[in-house]
Each structure stands twice: as structure tokens, then as C-alpha cells.
Amino acid sequence: MRNRIIGLLAGTALIAASVAGYAEDKKKLVVGFSQIGAESGWRTANTASVKDEAKKRGIDLKFADAQQKQENQIKAIRSFIAQKVDVIAFSPVVETGWEPVLKEAKKAGIPVVLSDRAVEVSDESLYKCFIGSDFVEEGRRAGKWLVEKTGGKAQIAELVGTPGAAPAIDRKKGFEEVIAKYPDMKIIKSQSGDFTRAKGKEVMEAFLKSPEGKNINVLYAHNDDMALGAIQAMEEAGKKPGTDIIIVSIDGVKGAFEAMVAGKLNCTVECNPLIGPQLFDLIEKVAAGKEIPKRVVSEEGVFDQSQAQKELPNRKY
Ligand code: AHR
């Protein structure tokens, strides 16, 4: 009897030891993430969402801020490859020029997940999945709202995002597709404000001083930050933003809702930056060798001034 009890205890201890051993052995997932920078309120919220989610899941996140430079992103990705991370994720600042570094990652056997923005590559097997918004649809939504608001008559100034960036290309495309059906809707000024508030203000100042400046009655900004900068420029030029110039922009950051409540911005099309949880769901599946969809689109809405007051307390970014 005594021997049987000793045997049972020894067996239990062995199982407990091997379970503990397994837990210790279970390697922490190592993920390299190359972020574009901190150019907008949207980006800041996106970074926080990625970092918070990695922490929650006990993932070892190697985070690199590229300060809006593609060369810095390429360097970061190469360093992730050298460190032999399990998965690489990144938000590409521009669409093109990624093939060589993506081939290096593939050769090293490291899967890549695109977050927020897409790339243009001849071989789609160079990345596993792209999670982010449908930017063309966002542009269409801004255009459709504007058609309703203006009855199809508008002299539009456009603040474009970073040249070569997917949201800049696609938001222009979607918007132009809609207004093309209305001959009295014309883009009379268009220039990049690089997705930043400072540049948005600077370019709007130049628009207003230009010979066409007095005819501008609509601003379409590819993000809220540029629209908020432009609002300042309009006020300094003695214009009433939201009244003299109708403003529609994209993102749905808190500042845009505050501007709508103040009557200075008319509409924001939502672009959701809080994709950390979805991103890491995909990353964990990829790391475990599971199948994942090639494209995951985030769900988004459109908000105008009449909804701003009610929605403002709910905004998380
Ligand atoms: O890629 C998403 C875009 O990038 C956001 O609309 C903009 O604010 C950000 O800088």
C-alpha cells in the first residue's frame, strides 16, 4: 500500500513538472512592427492599439517608428529579419518599392502581415494578409455626402495625403469617381498636406491666397488633421469654416467631432485605427501555421454635424 502511494505521488509530481516545463518552454511570440510615424491623431491611436494589444497577449513586440520615411521602414524590416522574429507586421508609408525587402523576409521564412495600408507587388505571396480600411470606399462616402449636401454644385479644394500612400491614392480615386457624375462639382485646387495638421494649414493658406481662392466653397481633406489645420488657416483669413467653406474629411478623430460640435467641420468619414486586436488575432494564427484570409476590412461609418454631440463621448480616439 505504502509503495503504491509513493508511486502515485511520484507520478503526479512528474506530470506537474512536465506541465510547468511546457509552460516555460512555450516560447513568447516575437513580432516586429514597423510603424509609419506619428503624423496624425489617427496614427497615435493606431500605435496605442497595437502596443496595448501586444502587451495584453504577452507578445514580445519590437516596435520601430519610421518617421514617415520608407528607407527607415526597410531598415527596420531588415533588422527584424536579422533578429529572426516570428512574424513581421508593418504599415507601409507608400505603396511601391517593397518587393526586395519582402523577398528577403520570405527567403528567411518570416511571414509578413500588412496593417492599415496596402503595397503594390507583382507577387502577392510576399505577404500573408492585409488588414485595414477600404480607402476607395471612404473617398466615395465623402463624395456621396458632399453631393447630398451641395446638391451637386461645388468648387472644391482638396488636401491630399502623403504622395504615393495608399490612402492618398485611393481616397482621391473614390471621391473623383462619385463627383465625376456631377459636372458642376469641380476640384479647383489640389495639393498634398502630407496628412499633417501643420502642412494642412500651410497649404490651405496658399489655396486661399491663390487667384482661385475666393471661389473655393468646399474643402475635401484626406484626413481630419489636415482639415483641422485648414480650419485655422480659414479663420486667420477671415473665413467661417463650416459655413463659408463646407468641410468633409476622413478619420473620425475626437478633434473632428469637437470641430463639428463647434460648427466648423461638416462631416467626417470614419477610418478605424483600433485594429490591434484583429491584427494580433491574424498574427497569432499565421505564427501557428493556420490559414487566414488575404484581406480583412475594418467596419466604418459616416458622421455629420447632427450626430456629433451624441457621438463625441463615445469616441475612443
Ligand atoms: O493610413 C491611414 C491614414 O494615415 C489616416 O487617415 C491618416 O490620418 C494617417 O496618417
- Residue 29 has a pLDDT of 98
Asked whether 43 lines ligand 1 (CB < 6 A), one says yes
Asked whether 251 lines ligand 1 (CB < 6 A), one says yes
- CB contact at 8 A, 284 and 124: no
Residues of the chain with pLDDT under 50: 1-3, 5-24
Q: Tell me the CA–centroid distance for residue 296 and ligand 1, in Å.
A: 17
- Residue 263 has a pLDDT of 98
Asked whether 130 lines ligand 1 (CB < 6 A), one says no
Asked whether 201 lines ligand 1 (CB < 6 A), one says no
Read off the C-alpha cell for 64.
520601430
- Residue 26 has a pLDDT of 66
- CB contact at 8 A, 266 and 247: yes
Q: What is the pLDDT of residues 212-221, one digit of tens each?
A: 999 999 999 9
Q: Tell me the CA–centroid distance for residue 6 and ligand 1, in Å.
A: 65
- Residue 299 has a pLDDT of 85
Q: Where are the beta strands (DSSP E) in 3-133?
A: 30-35, 60-65, 87-90, 112-115, 129-132
Q: Tell me the CA–centroid distance for residue 34 and ligand 1, in Å.
A: 15
- Residue 56 has a pLDDT of 98
Kindly give the interhelix angle for 166-179 and 135-150, rounded to the nearest 10 degrees.
40
Asked whether 194 lines ligand 1 (CB < 6 A), one says no
Nearest by Cα to 265 from 223, 210, 300, 236: 223
- Residue 80 has a pLDDT of 99
- CB contact at 8 A, 170 and 139: yes
pTM (2 d.p.): 0.91
Asked whether 95 lines ligand 1 (CB < 6 A), one says no
Q: Tell me the CA–centroid distance for residue 57 and ligand 1, in Å.
A: 26
> Which atom, in ligand 1's list, is nearest to the CA of 195?
10
CA gap 144, 60 in Å, rounded? 43
